[in-house]
Amino acid sequence: MDIALLVIGFILMLFGILGSFLPVLPGPPVSWVGLLLLHLTNAVPDDWWFIGITGVVALTIFIIDYIIPAIGTKRFGGTKAGMIGTTIGLIVGLLAPIPGGIFIGAFVGAFIGELSNKADNKTALRAAFGSFLGLLTGTFMKLIVTAIFLVFFFKIAIENSAALNPF
């Protein structure tokens, strides 16, 4: 059973890293579940402080990730229309079969949203750039957190590998 939890936990860690780039997968929370599964094995001693702290970090990053693109849009002179455009662009970009679609979608969505709000091209472009920066910042934060979780996963798994029970 320990090996099954270890393998499933590792797969979730990989999906968490993918979730850093794909808005459909909540990267840090998925990686955290991988850490939790590792701690549910008989080989790894219970460390509820570690699980609690990493859980709070995962949820905090998850929440902040949805706020940052809107803050970026607003900080660079965007309006509510630009923030709505960013969100719609993220969804459309996710469905677009092109590399970097979510980034392009967020940028174009914010730009169109601002133009629909009667902004001039310069203001709309600044707001779109803010949205793009916000999305990159959120992606970078998620990637860093999921990579750190993966390092923790490997460190804990290796330290306790002798006690892993395959059945």
pLDDT digits (tens, 9 = 90+) for 92-125: 887 877 777 777 888 888 888 888 877 788 888 8
**Radius of gyration for the alpha carbons in the chain, expressed in angstroms and rounded:** 19
Would you state the pLDDT for residue 77?
A: 77
Instruction: Report how far residue 22's alpha carbon sits from residue 19's, in angstroms, rounded to the nearest whole number.
Output: 5
Residue 116, pLDDT score: 87
Task: State which residues of the chain have pLDDT below 50.
Answer: none
Instruction: Give residue 118's region: left, alpha or beta (phi > 0; psi -120 to 50).
Output: left
What's the DSSP call for residue 69?
H
Q: Answer yes or no: are the C-beta atoms of 77 and 130 closer than 8 Å.
A: yes
pLDDT for the residue numbered 3: 86
End-to-end CA distance of the chain: 5
Q: Treating both helix axes as pointing N-terminal to C-terminal, what angle do 80-95 and 121-159 enclose, rounded to 10 degrees?
A: 60
Dihedral, CA of residue 137, residue 149, residue 12 and residue 30, to nearest 10: -50
Q: Round to whole Å and give the CA distance between 19 and 130.
A: 22
Say how far residue 140 (Cα) sits from the centre of its chain.
8
> What's the predicted TM-score (pTM) here?
0.80
